[in-house]
Structure 1
Amino acid sequence: MNLYQSLGYLVLGSRLRRLSEAFLAEINRAYQNEGIDFDASWFPVFYLLSKNDALSIKELSEQIEVSHPAASQLITNLKNRGLVTSATCADDGRRQLVTLTETGRKLLEQILPMWEAINKAMTELIDSDSMSKQLLPAITALENEFRSISLSDLISNKLASNLKSAGDE
């Protein structure tokens, strides 16, 4: 058992971040191996725009569950690469509607088979181990718990409870 495994929940965030970084690095390597200039961090925006003609930055930020500034920064990065464009919404001048450019649509055509291959490869990898099959349901359950309970408040309550118990002794 390595250090991270031995520390349990104390390093859960670090382990998840390490796993995420390793996963995304492998995905990016797969794109590179196929000669596709695509970064895995762009996936949520490309996926949503593949299913919708146009979305506002607010809609994108809500659906990918990041802050508006983070979504705006991602869109700016994609604009600078000529992959998306934005225009003021005809109905509401405050909204910017984001769409894929022609270059973005051509890139989407290249990456759609990659997404299918990634999904199949991950399914095969996960299906090879019974514990791994529980990964996505477990992540969903943990995400739901974090939405319903403030972990920081729970920790504070545990600290207060421990202090109270120590004072009673």
Structure 2
Amino acid sequence: MNLYQSLGYLVLGSRLRRLSESFLAEINRVYQNEGIDFDASWFPVFYLLSKNEALSIKELSEQIEVSHPAASQLITNLKNRGLVTSATCVDDGRRQLVTLTQSGRKLLATILPVWDAISLAMTRLVESDNTAKQLLPAITALETAFHSSDLAGTISQNLTADLKPTNHG
């Protein structure tokens, strides 16, 4: 058992980050090996725009569950690459609607088979292990538990007088 495994929930965030970074690095390596100029971090925006003709930055941020500024930064990056464009909504001048450009649609057509291959590879990977099969349901359950509880508050309540360090001064 390595250090991370031995520390349990104390390093849950670190383990999930490491797993995510490793996974995304592998996915980016696939795009690179296939000669596709695409970054895995763009996936949520491309996926949503593949299912919707146009979305506002607010809609994108809500659906991918990131802050509005983070979504704006991602959209700006994709705009600078010529993959998306935005225009003022006709019905509401405050809203900017984001759409894929012609280059973005062409890139989407190129990456769709990669997404299918990723899905197939991951399904095969987890299907070979009964515990791994529970990964996505377990993550969903943990996300639900986090959203329905006040973890920070619970931790603070656990810091009773018995657990708090005493000042020996």
The TM-score, its normalising length taken from structure 1, stands at 0.95
Partner of 2:121: 121
Note the C-alpha offset of 1:47: 0.2
TM-aligned CA distance change 1:153 to 1:26, over 3 Å: same
Amino acid at match of 2:12: L
The one-character-per-residue Cα deviations of 1:41-89 (angstroms, maximum 9, x if unpaired) are 0000000000000000000000000000000000000000000000000
Partner of 2:80: 80
Partner SS, residue 36 of structure 2: coil
Partner SS, residue 97 of structure 1: strand
Note the C-alpha offset of 1:157: 0.6
Amino acid at match of 1:124: R
What CA distance in whole angstroms lies between the structure 1 residues aligned with 2:27 and 2:75? Answer: 21
Partner of 1:44: 44
What CA distance in whole angstroms lies between the structure 1 residues aligned with 2:26 and 2:159? Answer: 40
Aligned-CA RMSD value:
1.3
What CA distance in whole angstroms lies between the structure 2 residues aligned with 1:126 and 1:77? Answer: 34
What CA distance in whole angstroms lies between the structure 2 residues aligned with 1:126 and 1:162? Answer: 43
Q: How many residues align?
A: 165
What CA distance in whole angstroms lies between the structure 1 residues aligned with 2:84 and 2:163? Answer: 54
Structure number having the greater helix percentage? 1
Amino acid at match of 1:45: V
Note the C-alpha offset of 1:163: 5.0
2:141 equivalent to 1:141: yes
Partner of 1:110: 110
What CA distance in whole angstroms lies between the structure 2 residues aligned with 1:59 and 1:80? Answer: 21
Note the C-alpha offset of 1:150: 1.1
Note the C-alpha offset of 1:143: 0.1
Partner of 1:34: 34
What CA distance in whole angstroms lies between the structure 2 residues aligned with 1:46 and 1:62? Answer: 15
The TM-score, its normalising length taken from structure 2, stands at 0.95
> Percent same amino acid at aligned positions?
81
2:88 equivalent to 1:92: no
Partner of 1:130: 130
Note the C-alpha offset of 1:110: 0.1
Partner of 2:60: 60
For structure 2, list consecutive stretches of 5 or more residues without a partner in the other structure.
Answer: none
Amino acid at match of 1:95: R
What CA distance in whole angstroms lies between the structure 2 residues aligned with 1:114 and 1:73? Answer: 25
Partner SS, residue 29 of structure 1: helix
